[in-house]
Amino acid sequence: MASQTEAAVRPTTKKEKTTINPLKSNVVVGSLLPVTLIIIWEMASRGGFVEPHLLPAPTTVLEEVITMAQEGELWGHIWITLYRVFAGFLLGTGAAILLGAATGYIKIVERVLDPMLQALRAIPSLAWVPLFILWLGIGETSKITLVAVGVFFPVYLNLTSGIQGVDRKLIEVGRMYHFTALQQIKRIILPASLPSFLVGLRSGLSLGWMFVVAAELLGASEGLGYLMVFGQNTSAPELVIASILLFAIFGKITDEILKRIQTRTLKWQDNMENAS
């Protein structure tokens, strides 16, 4: 009651509250359903409605994670998976920038390179695995290459379409200033295609995570993907679910980092997200 009258007298305090509230309530509203489901799951497990050797209770999964973390073996698996994703991501992005920029700027490169890359893109990702293992062995190289292939295509496609979609009107402004080709690229084409490039980076990263799972499922002796296979072979569903959970967490964290970078560098964009 007291706060109500206060809000009525001083509308500014009310305003401050409303600016904080949506964020909080978003988190609350968003976690309502998962939390309920987890509670139902836990109760179903304890009540014996689901068989623990198929679907262990959330608390069992959590215990498993904590024990592994305490024993120290978990960190090695997490570290190697993160390493594969990052190395593959950097490699794939680097190649995509080089080739994407070349096809975007130089007409002849586009005509030579693009049809082949479009055809390669049609190959399902897992089809590469045997070939890479054959060529590069079962070591890190083949896994990182596979991740890089996954990351490459979304980044490449978004970058080229970003470059080709740059507004002709803005390029003409550069021509009026007699920009050299390099200035034109640096001052107009690059910033103008940045939004599309960042979209490519984010979908590239999510594909990178997918490909690391594929690589680790099919031939690894460490990593979160390997933990899943191990859990399957030893009939330890809590291990599989724990790995899925960890993939979800790290996937979310890395995507969030890119998303922050995206909103920060694109605050000039006139879209719904930036509307205030």
18 binds another protein (CB under 8 A): no
- Should residue 133 be labelled a site residue for another protein when binding is judged by CB under 8 A? no
d(CA 104, CA 93): 15
Amino acid type, 195: P
Q: Closest separation between CB of residue 256 and another protein, Å?
A: 23
Least CB distance from residue 174 to another protein, whole Å? 8
Q: Contact, 212 vs 251, CB < 8 A?
A: no
Encoded one letter per residue, x for contact with another protein by CB under 8 A and - for no contact, window 211-240 reads: ------------------------------
Residue 199 CB, shortest distance to another protein, in Å, is: 16
Burial of 155 per CB tally in 10 Å (0-12, 13-18, 19+) = buried
Q: Which is nearer to another protein, 67 or 183 (CB)?
A: 183
Q: Which is nearer to another protein, 12 or 276 (CB)?
A: 276
Closest CA to 216 of 200, 252, 240, 249: 240
> Using CB under 8 A, which of 24, 107, 264, 267 touches another protein?
267
As a whole number of Å, the end-to-end CA separation of the chain is: 31
Residue of the chain from 18, 34, 268, 272 that contacts another protein (CB under 8 A): 268
Instruction: Tell me how far apart the alpha carbons of residues 215 and 225 are, in angstroms, rounded to a whole number.
Output: 8
Q: Are 44 and 50 in contact (CB under 8 A)?
A: yes
CA distance linking residue 201 with residue 208, whole number of Å: 10
Polymer length in residues for the chain: 276
Of 207-215, 236-244, 255-263, 264-272, the segment contacting another protein by CB under 8 A is 264-272
In the complex with another protein, which residue's Cβ is closer, 94 or 174?
174
> Residues 6 or more apart from 81 whose CB is under 8 A from it?
212, 216, 223, 224, 225, 250
- x/- mask, another protein, residues 160-199, rule CB under 8 A, reads ---------xx-xxxxxxxx-------xx--xx-x-----
What count of other Cβ atoms lies within 10 Å of the Cβ of residue 102? 15
* Residue 46 contacts another protein per CB under 8 A: no
Asked if 263 interacts with another protein (CB under 8 A), we say no
| Minimum distance, C-beta of residue 107 to another protein, in the bound complex (Å) | 18
Closest by CA to 128, choosing from 145, 114, 113, is 145
**Closest CB to another protein among residues 24, 168:** 168
What residues make contact with another protein under the rule CB under 8 A?
169-170, 172-179, 187-188, 191-192, 194, 267-270, 274
